[in-house]
Amino acid sequence: MNATYFVILCVTGFFAIFSSTIAKSPVLPLYSLSLGISVAGIGVVSAVSSFTGIVASVPSGMMAERIGKKRMLTVATLIFSTAPFLYLLVSNVWQLVMVRLYHGLATAIFMPVALSMVSATFNKERGEKIGWFSTSTLLGRFIAPMAGGGIIGLMSFNPRMGYKVVYLLCAFVGILSLVTLFSIPGEVRDASNTVSWKDILCRLRKLLTVKGVIITSIVEGAVLFSYGVFETFLPLYAISVGLSPYEIGTILSIQVISIALTKPFMGRFSDKHGRVPQILAGVILGAICVYGFSLTGKFIPLLVLSVLFGLSISVVTSATSALIADLSKRESLASAMGILASVMDIGHTTGPLVSGVIATYLSYNSVFVFAAIVLLSCALAFKLATIDVP
């Protein structure tokens, strides 16, 4: 995969994640409400795609090793292209849940397989290339809510039509991801893979015993746990201390920008200076920032903490994927990225759920303290695990 093909993969990732994100943020809760779905039902609808990621990421990686990464990416982009049309046909909560399960499968396939493709191609600059690919997907994740929200706002005179336009745009961009993927010339496509399922399962078992793979995945899961707490409860906390919706939106948006702008450079830094110390430093910085949210209710301090927390996420996640790739054999990269994606989804899903219980019985401040404790505990475990990179 030369530079041109890498750029094509990044563009495909941008389209894919834009399509995935615009389907849910901020459209999905509003669309669900318009269908008469209850608040509890909306919670189920919102969570179900993460459940798909937990369940399907590892099998997707195994399938990629069996039939080839390019073919699995084709399956993912076909789902990105077709799922949006199904939203227009639903009329109740269970139909919408099934659509979300189907749509969530696309991301569960796409991200670990695409990351394994990048990791398998680049060695010395692996961290930097993973960083650039992640930045391309983050741009899609950042732009999509503004596009979806803008369409709904412009068509507020006819909300039903607004939702249709959003999901048609979602489908169009999903189709673009399929088209750009096919533009990769045939000579860089995966050849047919005749490895048996027995061999793949054997590789997976060996992968799970590799020192560092699981603990590194858990560290990134902890970071996503804290991020889930941040994106769910910081808006509620900020409203409770008197911040405006505009200020809250700025705090949330600037964090995404800080991650997108710094991730390639943090990946390059890990290529040159080592991944283990960088991950440890990033987790500790993240714990300090999350704890800091509980100490202030002012806009500027929260904005600064948000930027620094975004930097900590960039520092950690730009190195974790690359470290797992370093620790894994080339033929097991897709399964390794599947394990990472699954643990990430577990962290991202359980963060709001566990913290919701804490907030109910204690306070919003307490959820940030708890998230900081989780991060520090994982930092200690990561420090105690001696990881030897080959």
What is the model's pLDDT at position 254? 83
Dump pLDDT digits (tens) for 275-316: 999 999 999 999 999 999 989 888 899 999 999 999 999 999
What is the model's pLDDT at position 331? 59
| Dist CA 269 CA 318 (whole Å) | 9
What is the model's pLDDT at position 59? 86
Q: What is the mean pLDDT of each run of 10 residues along the chain (390 residues)?
A: 82 95 84 84 76 86 84 95 96 93 94 90 86 92 85 86 94 96 63 57 67 87 89 79 78 84 91 91 95 89 92 92 83 77 82 79 86 94 74
The residue type at 226: S
The residue type at 138: L
What is the model's pLDDT at position 46? 74
Which tokens hold the place of 372? 């900081």
What is the model's pLDDT at position 178? 96
Measuring CA to CA, how many Å separate 130 from each of 15, 84, 366? 17, 28, 34
Dihedral sign for Cα 133, 138, 139, 141, please.
positive
The residue type at 11: V
Domains (range + CATH), the chain: 1-194 (1.20.1250.20), 196-390 (1.20.1250.20)
Which tokens hold the place of 32? 């669900």
Angle at 365 between CA 364 and CA 367, to 5 degrees: 70
Is the Cβ–Cβ distance between 262 and 282 less than 8 Å?
no
This prediction has a pTM of: 0.84
